[in-house]
Amino acid sequence: MSLETLSPAAALSSNPGFDAAAFDRCVMPTYGRFPLAIARGEGCRLWDTDGNSYLDFVAGIATCTLGHAHPALVDAVTKQIQTLHHVSNLYYIPQQGDLAQWLTQNSCADFAFFCNSGAEANEGAIKLARKYAHTVLGIHNPVIITANASFHGRTLATVTATAQPKYQQNFSPLVPGFHYVPYNDIAALETAIAQLDASERQVAAILLEPLQGEGGVRPGEVSYFQKVRQLCNDKGILLMLDEVQVGIGRSGQLWGYENLGIEPDIFTSAKGLAGGIPIGAMLCKAFCNVFTPGDHASTFGGNPFACAAALAVCQTLTQENLLANVRARGEQLREGLRAIAYQYPSFITDVRGWGLINGMEISADVALTAPEVVKAAMDKGLLLVPAGPKVVRFVPPLIVSEEEVEEALSMVKQVFQDLTKAF
């Protein structure tokens, strides 16, 4: 079973709230979907169109920071849409200024650019690095180095930055100017930089995730990132971090890079930033801001609605002291998953992560896949998401309670009791 071959909507039990036939006929089939249509959510809980309830440890793929229907978010977006939702960047948008101020006061960055998704934020970072290379570094054929098994998005430039053949297949010609290295391997990075610099393709920037999310929940190593930072300083290379999945509190720190003891020159945020309302942000330090009016733009980017949502998320993170909850619940979850892994050592080979982004790796020696575990958990009432074919990812809302983590763990335990019987 893989996510690419899951069932059509017509396989769902029929219910009056959902026209499955129309869905299958009219929606472009770009997703393998689980057989579930969701109608309503509250906190960490979702209800499907048949009225069954689920504990949500997916959170819209690490986006619903405050869970579902959180009063602070509901209030902020309701007030904003009743007042003004979109005007374009032809005019000044006060909420955009407020959000940029909050983000720069609470990170190492000096400036923020707003767009609508993670891929778009990374596109902005790639363009900024290229302009910096041309205008400051004097590099005419700049290269951006990214890591194997990374994920940076699905646009042409970001899918090229994403060093995974499965996402690139059939979309050539890809965008020139990217080079791939193994993650967490400083020697390989040094060799690649030396080889590129000896050619006419010089390195302008390195783009890495602090923890690889889609690529299997692989945390960055502190010693690696500190050496990468030093290498970038020594060579004048920009260090860009893709914080789209781990940023805005999910790692137990506000930004993933805080777990690594370094600061990036440029970083991107998106998924959890507005709690599930589409937004993206590209942030940079003052020295590398080479953008001037006309260089980059987005019609929707930073509109009053999305910025009001993001501000509500940021303020609630502080007011409800959510980082402390992320750390405590993350430890509880990893401890519980490790106890389960200890009972099934031939099935579960690793439990790893930061804060509330955690992965459970299924042994390469058994036929069991991550989507099969996810499907079995769904049938028990727990929503999880694969991160590749062999890693099950746990990314609940950051408001998740101790009881909800316990409940999730007991369902995971039942899943392995059942699944392992078949082997």
Ligand X SMILES: *Cc1c(COP(=O)(O)O)cnc(C)c1O
In whole angstroms, how close is the CB of 280 to ligand X at the nearest point? 7
Taking CB under 6 A as the criterion, the residue among 113, 114, 132, 151 binding ligand X is 151
Does 271 participate in binding ligand X (rule CB under 6 A)? yes
**H or E element at residue 314:** helix 304-319
Give the residue with the Cβ less far from ligand X, 162 or 316: 162
In whole angstroms, how close is the CB of 297 to ligand X at the nearest point? 18
Does 218 participate in binding ligand X (rule CB under 6 A)? no
Which parts of 274-372 are beta strand (E)? 280-284, 348-354, 357-362
Phi, psi of 144 (to 5 degrees): -110, 125
Cα torsion angle, 184, 322, 37, 420, sign: positive
Classified as helix, coil or strand, 63 is: coil
DSSP 22-82: HHHHHS-------S--EEEEEBTEEEETTS-EEEESSHHHHT-TT-BS-HHHHHHHHHHHH
In whole angstroms, how close is the CB of 78 to ligand X at the nearest point? 24
Piece in contact with ligand X (CB under 6 A), picked from 151-159, 177-185, 317-325, 340-348 = 151-159
Indicate which residue of 57, 113, 151, 394 is catalytic.
151
Give the residue with the Cβ less far from ligand X, 158 or 316: 158
Piece in contact with ligand X (CB under 6 A), picked from 149-157, 192-200, 225-233, 353-361 = 149-157
In whole angstroms, how close is the CB of 278 to ligand X at the nearest point? 8
Indicate which residue of 113, 267, 271, 375 is catalytic.
271
What's the number of CA atoms in the CB half-sphere (13 Å) around residue 377? 26
Does 209 participate in binding ligand X (rule CB under 6 A)? yes
| Closest by CA position to 212, among listed 285, 163, 263 | 163
Q: Is 151 a catalytic residue?
A: yes
Q: Is 48 a catalytic residue?
A: no
Q: Report how many residues bind ligand X under the rule CB under 6 A.
A: 15
6 and 29 in contact (C-beta within 8 Å)? no
245 and 257 in contact (C-beta within 8 Å)? no
Piece in contact with ligand X (CB under 6 A), picked from 65-73, 242-250, 351-359, 399-407 = 242-250
Between CA 392 and CA 398 the distance in angstroms is 18
Does 160 participate in binding ligand X (rule CB under 6 A)? no
DSSP state of 293: T
Q: Is 300 a catalytic residue?
A: no
Give the residue with the Cβ less far from ligand X, 18 or 267: 267
Give the residue with the Cβ less far from ligand X, 271 or 334: 271
User: For strand 111-115 and strand 143-147, is the pairing parallel, antiparallel, or unpaired?
Assistant: unpaired
Does 282 participate in binding ligand X (rule CB under 6 A)? no
Does 388 participate in binding ligand X (rule CB under 6 A)? no
Dihedral of the alpha carbons of 93, 97, 98, 99, in degrees to the nearest 10: 100
Q: What's CA 133's distance to the chain center, in Å?
A: 27
Does 279 participate in binding ligand X (rule CB under 6 A)? no
| Closest by CA position to 416, among listed 334, 337, 332 | 337
Q: Which of residues 10-49 bind ligand X (CB under 6 A)?
A: none
What's the number of CA atoms in the CB half-sphere (13 Å) around residue 370? 25
Does 397 participate in binding ligand X (rule CB under 6 A)? no
Does 390 participate in binding ligand X (rule CB under 6 A)? no
277 and 305 in contact (C-beta within 8 Å)? yes
Map residues 95-134 to x or -, x wherever contact with ligand X holds by CB under 6 A: ----------------------xxx--x------------
Question: 284: which strand partners?
Answer: 111, 266
Indicate which residue of 48, 56, 242, 265 is catalytic.
242
Q: Which residues are catalytic?
A: 151, 242, 271
Which residues contact ligand X by CB under 6 A?
117-119, 122, 151-153, 209, 213-214, 242, 244-245, 270-271
